[in-house]
Amino acid sequence: MFNPSRLKLARQRLALTLTKLADQSGVSLRSLTNYENGKLAPNEDNLLKLARALSVPPKFFDRDTAETIPVEAASFRKLSKTTATRRDAVLASATLAVEFFAVIESKFKLPAPDTPSFDKLSPEEAADLVRHRWNLGDRPIPNMIHLLESKGVRVAALRHEYTDIDAFCFVRDSSPYVFLNTSRSGERQRFDAAHELGHLVLHGEQDMDPSTSKEREAEANRFAATFLMPRTAVLAQSMHNASLERILAARSFWKVSAMAMTHRLHELDLVSDWQYRSTCMTLSERGYRSTEPGGIVPETSQLLRKVMFGSASKVNVRDAASDLDLYQDDVRDFIRDLVPVAA
């Protein structure tokens, strides 16, 4: 019954090497290597030691093989600054989150994916076309998470210890997934969600080759800026040489960060290079680079709230953990800050 791939998945999820796992579990490195290679199955004593060290129920190791999300399928910002061990840990956790959504889909009919592929267009053209396709007009988007979920995107939370990763996305079995770091400000999460949508629209059918990640990230940023702050609508607001007060009012209107609003005005040639640098310096001095004073409340998930806490809810943390052979805290990590914490 022991599945070697499950041992590797549980180990990678905690960013442990085989050597570290040997130290923490008391199981020899040689035995661990044989277990992961499928040459040997652990006895009951070692199985319990591994379960304790990896924070999973022993039954987790009996589950079917789960295909880990490959790194070339996922969009990672600042990939060069993320260690391979850290990256693999995030992908292992995401693999388990996909299984969590499979539990939900076994009990609910979720929205079908509707994320078009516009890989031949510029980011700006693609953003405008997605807005048109989804009948969004040129008004501020009320809630990015609700919008993505309504278009079939599965949204989950990143574990908060992954402070070096803002967000990432991938497509698995035709379903798009977006993972957000919900410890960020509401404005940052909205931009991250739009950024990942940009990846899905512009790069969803491409391998995420690390050698071209810088170009893809720039394109996703341009998509996000245009999607959240449409050119024609911003120009109509008469923001030429806008004062700091007007910029702050505009960022509240569009629900973006003050820095993102300032950058967008500069992109549209509404503020000069000098004014752009000066405004960014002032905002930084006032704390807007690391936080968003007077900002919005972070958005939450409508889909997860309905399936887990609605009147017809059929999925709860306890039962989902049992279905997945995980602990309840692991399931809570998938939904952290996206829905209320519950038992």
pLDDT digits (tens, 9 = 90+) for 68-83: 988 877 777 655 566 7
Among 61, 316, 77, CA closest to 184: 77
- Are the C-beta atoms of residues 152 and 111 closer than 8 Å to each other? yes
Fold that domain 1-64 belongs to in CATH:
434 Repressor (Amino-terminal Domain) (1.10.260)
> What is the structure's pLDDT at 343?
42
Q: How confident is residue 290, by pLDDT bands cut at 50, 70 and 90?
A: confident
- Are the C-beta atoms of residues 265 and 242 closer than 8 Å to each other? yes
Q: Which residues contact 36 (CB under 8 A, 6 or more apart)?
A: 4, 7, 8, 11, 18
Neighbours of 237 (CB within 10 A): 16
Exposed e or buried b per residue across 150-168, where buried means at least 16 C-beta atoms within 10 angstroms of its C-beta: ebebbbbbbbeebeebbbb
The domain locations on the chain are 1-64, 66-231+298-343
User: CA-CA distance, 310 to 306, in Å (whole number)?
Assistant: 4
Q: How confident is residue 166, by pLDDT bands cut at 50, 70 and 90?
A: confident
Neighbours of 273 (CB within 10 A): 9
pLDDT at 51 over 70: yes
* β-pair partners for 170: 177
Q: Which residues contact 266 (CB under 8 A, 6 or more apart)?
A: 273, 276
- Average pLDDT over every residue of 145-155: 98
Q: How confident is residue 165, by pLDDT bands cut at 50, 70 and 90?
A: confident
Q: How confident is residue 92, by pLDDT bands cut at 50, 70 and 90?
A: very high
pLDDT at 180 over 50: yes
**Percent of the chain residues past pLDDT 90, beyond the cut:** 80
Among 257, 126, 97, CA closest to 189: 257
Parallel, antiparallel or unpaired: strands 175-180 and 154-157: parallel
Which DSSP state fits 81? G
- Are the C-beta atoms of residues 94 and 179 closer than 8 Å to each other? yes
More confident residue, 36 or 213: 36
User: CA-CA distance, 68 to 291, in Å (whole number)?
Assistant: 34
- Are the C-beta atoms of residues 196 and 172 closer than 8 Å to each other? no
